[in-house]
Amino acid sequence: MVIDFSLSDSLLEIQARAREFAQGVILPIAAEYDRKAEMPPGMLAKAKEAGLLNVTIPKEYGGMSYGALESAIIAEELGAACVGISITLLVNGLALTPLQLFGTEEQKERFLRPVAEGARLASFCLTEREAGSDASSIKTTALPDGDDFVINGRKCFITSGGHAEIMTVFALTDPNRGPRGVSAIVVRADTPGIRVTKVEDKMGQRASNTVELTFENVRVPQANLLGKPGRGFPIALQTLDFGRSGVAALGVGVARAALEYATAYARERQQFGAPIITNQGVSFMLADMAMKVEASRLLSWQAAWSADQGNKATIKSAMAKCFATDTAMEVTTNAVQIFGGYGYMRDYPVEKLMRDAKLLQIYEGTNQIQRMVIARQLSKQAS
C-alpha cells in the first residue's frame, strides 16, 4: 500500500485515551482556570499517569517513547479541551528536547530523568525583549569563569517560567561571535540570582504561566552545556522544528472544537422560523470551516509523520503550524459570529477558543516567520 489515512490500533488507543482525559479531566475545569489564570493543581501528575506528558521523551527517562505523530494526535485532543493547559504540557516536551537530542548520558540522568519521572515543569528560555522573531540577536550572556558560566540577562514570555524546576537557557558564551556564540545550557531554577520580574496577564491561554525572568550573576557549572559551545542557535531551531508540528495540532484541536460547537448551535438556534443552518450564509461558513479543519489535520499529521521518518522537519512543520493556526483563528472567529451576541459572552465556550487561538499564530515563531522559513526553503530548492 502506498498511502493509508486510517489510524493503526495503537494510534486509535492513544487518541481515545487522550480524548477521554481531555474531555473528562481538562474540559470541565478549563473555564474556571482560564478565569483564575492558573494551572489546575496536580494536572501534570494526572497527565503523566494517563501517559500524556513528555510523550516524545524515551521511556527509560520517564517519557512515553512516542513519535511526533502520536504527539500530534494527543495535542489535537488536548487542544480541543483547553490550549492554556495543553501548552503547559507541550512546552515541557519542548524544553526537554534539547536535553534528549544533545545531552550526554550524565546530563540526562541528572536533569531529564528526575524532571520527566517526577512530572515537574521545564522552561524553554530563548526569547528576549529585543530578540523575538529575530531570535539570534539575544543579549543574555553566559561568560566562562573557572569551571562555571556566569549568566546575566533577561528572558521574556517564558512559558511555565515561574514554576519550572529546570530551564534550557540560550545565552552568548562568546559575545564576539554573534549568533555563533550562542550556547544551550541547562539551569536549575533554584540557582541563586534567578528572579521572576514580571508575570504576564494574557488575553488567552490564561491557565499557562508566562513570565519574564531576570538572571543576575547566575553561576552554573560548565558541565551543564548541551552539545558544543556556539551551537545553541541551531539547537534552538531544530527543537522548534519539532515543536511547531505540535502547535499545528493544538490549532487543529481548537478549530475542531469551535466547528463542533458552531454546528450544534446552528442546527438548534431558530430564527425566522427555522434553524439558522438552513441559511446558505451560515451553512457555507460551516462548510469552509470543516474543509480547513480537515486540511490542517492532514498537514499536521504529514509534518509529524515526515519528522518520524527522520526527514528534516523545517518546511513541513512551518507549513503545518502556519496553516493550522491561521485556520484556528479564522474558524474560532467564525464560530463566534455564528453564535452572534451569545458568542461574545463568557457564558458560551467559543469566545475563549477565539482568545486562545490568537496566541497560536504568535508563539513558537509568528506565522510571518513561518512564511519566511517556507519561502527561504523554496529559494534554496530553486537554486
Q: Residue from 97, 224, 238, 332 that binds ligand CAA (CB under 6 A)?
A: 238
Distance, in Å, from the CA atom of 333 to the CA atom of 320, rounded to the nearest integer, reads 20
Q: Considering the rule CB under 6 A, would residue 248 count as an interface residue with ligand CAA?
A: no
Cα 232 to the center of its chain, rounded Å: 20
* Cβ neighbours around 290 below 10 Å, total: 16
The three three-digit cell numbers of residue 166, written as one number: 529546570
Figure out which of the listed residues 136, 278, 279, 283 binds ligand CAA, where binding follows CB under 6 A. Answer: 136
Which of 237, 295, 298, 374 is the binder for ligand CAA (CB under 6 A)? Answer: 237
Supply φ then ψ for residue 41, to 5 degrees.
Answer: -60, 145
Nearer to ligand CAA, 325 or 334 (CB): 325
Show the CA angle centred on residue 254, arms to residues 128 and 164, nearest 5°.
40
Instruction: Please report whether residue 227 would count as binding ligand CAA according to CB under 6 A.
Output: no
Which residue in this structure is represented by grid cell 454546528?
A: 263
User: Which among 9-17, 34-42, 125-133, 298-306 is the span making contact with ligand CAA, rule CB under 6 A?
Assistant: 125-133
Task: Examine residue 377 and tell whether it contacts ligand CAA (CB under 6 A).
Answer: no
Judged by CB under 6 A, does residue 373 bind ligand CAA?
Answer: yes
If one asks whether residue 159 binds ligand CAA (CB under 6 A), the answer comes out as yes
Q: Please report whether residue 180 would count as binding ligand CAA according to CB under 6 A.
A: yes
Residue from 33, 66, 102, 124 in contact with ligand CAA (CB under 6 A): 124
By the rule CB under 6 A, 163 interacts with ligand CAA: no
> Which residue sits closest to ligand CAA, CB atoms considered?
365
- Which among 164, 40, 188, 20 is positioned nearest to 94, based on CA atoms? 164
Give 85 or 282: the residue with its C-beta nearer to ligand CAA.
85
* CA distances, 197 to each of 200, 213, 362 (Å): 10, 6, 22
Residue count, binding to ligand CAA (CB under 6 A): 24
- Which of 76, 128, 212, 364 is the catalytic position? 364
Dihedral (CA of 305, 306, 307, 308) sign: positive
Question: At 160, which helix (H) or strand (E)?
Answer: none
**Would you tell me how many other CB atoms lie within 10 Å of the CB of residue 44?**
23
Determine contact, residues 231/183, Cβ cutoff 8 Å.
yes
Does the active-site annotation cover 77?
Answer: no
The footprint of ligand CAA (CB under 6 A) covers: 87, 91, 94, 124, 126-127, 133, 135-136, 159, 179-180, 233-234, 237-238, 240-241, 314, 363-365, 369, 373
Catalytic residues: 364
